[in-house]
Amino acid sequence: MLQISVLKEQTARVLAGLAKRNFKTAEADVQAVLDLDQRRRALQTQHDAAQAEANELARQIGGLMKSGDKAGAEALKIRTAELKTQIKAHADELADTERQQTQLLYKIPNVPHESVPAGRSAEDNEVVREGGTKPTLAAGALPHWELIKKYDIIDFELGIKITGAGFPVYKGQGARLQRALVNFFLDQARDAGYTEVQPPILVNEASGYGTGQLPDKEGQMYHDAQDNLYLIPTSEVPITNLYRDEIIPVDKLPVRNTGYTPCFRREAGSWGADVRGLNRLHQFDKVEIVQITQPEHSYAAHETMVAHVEKLLQLLELPYRVLRLCGGDMGFTSALTYDLEVWSAAQGRWLEVSSVSNFEAFQANRLKCRYKAEGGKTQLLHTLNGSALALPRIVAALLENNQTPEGVRLPEVLHSYCGFDIIG
């Protein structure tokens, strides 16, 4: 959520940034927030003045009663009653104005960083760099959904039977590969200085609002209406919310956490060749890295997080590329996002496997996640997160890129984790 002070003091920058997102109601929404803030301030002034007068009258009434002037005291009590009515009316209107302002602020996305290119879709994203070498497959190479059937390692039909489409059953070497990848990613994050946490996979409404999934992604989240809890779309949500309503001591910064969870996304309206097999699922496994840091350090932290994900892809011997997302393709809460994609040789296309984002103070403002700066002033922190990594498309690329007549040969770094070096 954008800060009111930013909207007031940097209006031109905010509107220019939101134009990169093609956010059509930016000018009207920003002006409405500022108008409501002006109204809120006026109401607060009236409320405080009435309260101050009421307090002064209470003091005077006490003095009159002590001196025996009951008539004078009764006259002041009439005015006090009028003031109490005014104070309640002001408080009610103030609460309603603040509610309207907050709801409107929830609609406005984050302002993109100055380096974010303008654009409307993924076609406008910038390729920052590429790494690795694309493999040349033999004639008759199979896409991963055919390899899965051939080696009987994942069963989509069983998933449909017990749950529905998009909930695969992993078995045999497929299940062991899943576990191996999770352990490998967690070990790498730990070695990079991240503390492992195991958070809940259900979160309350406040947590969803805290990191910005609500109200923006409400239709994409699985919701338990009876308890008003949401299945997490990513472990970013519970891990970042560990620090909601917290003032973090400077000597504890930066916070660096990692966690593995299953993730759940409804992906409503998804269909077609691009979502075949493991390309898009309703439930999938992912290791996440999260950092919370002082504003002046957040972009350096962002680069280290991207480098960490690149290292994982290099160790897995997967060809990859790093993209800087354009304004029209960025997530609602992000100020700057790098996507990392791997080359899917049999499909002949790039698959996104990670997004690494800096949210600046956008999430922290919702979370009230702060620190005490020099001089004792409380300031908002910056939050960041990245997938390190999401498993389904990694598995898809590993299967397709490493297929041989003897089976799928796994990269060396996974041999000890899997307990085997070939799927077949």
Contact 383, 292 (CB under 8 A): yes
- For 293-321, the pLDDT digits (tens) are 999 999 999 999 999 999 999 999 999 99
- For 94-153, the pLDDT digits (tens) are 999 999 999 999 999 999 999 999 999 999 999 999 999 999 999 999 999 999 999 999
pLDDT at 70 over 90: no
CATH level 3 topology of 4-107:
Helix Hairpins (1.10.287)
d(CA 291, CA 256): 5
pLDDT at residue 267, as a whole number: 81
Q: What is the band of 234 on the pLDDT scale with cuts at 50, 70, 90?
A: very high
- CATH assignment, 122-423: 3.30.930.10
Only one residue has tokens 């997160």, namely 385
Q: What residues does each domain of the chain span?
A: 4-107, 122-423
pLDDT, mean over the chain:
96
Range list of β-strands (E), 249-399: 255-264, 283-293, 320-324, 336-344, 349-358, 370-372, 378-380, 382-390
Q: What is the band of 80 on the pLDDT scale with cuts at 50, 70, 90?
A: very high
- For 31-56, the pLDDT digits (tens) are 999 999 999 999 999 999 999 999 99
pLDDT at residue 375, as a whole number: 82
| 0.85 surpassed by pTM | yes
d(CA 347, CA 20): 32
pLDDT at 378 over 80: yes
d(CA 395, CA 288): 17
Q: What is the band of 291 on the pLDDT scale with cuts at 50, 70, 90?
A: very high
Mean pLDDT, range 233-248, rounded to an integer? 98
pLDDT at 5 over 90: yes
Contact 306, 298 (CB under 8 A): no
pLDDT at residue 47, as a whole number: 96
pLDDT at residue 65, as a whole number: 87
- Pick from 112, 106, 116: nearest CA to 2: 106
Rg, the chain, Cα only: 27
Q: What is the band of 4 on the pLDDT scale with cuts at 50, 70, 90?
A: very high
Distances (CA, A) of 76 to 57, 84, 127, 424: 7, 12, 73, 91
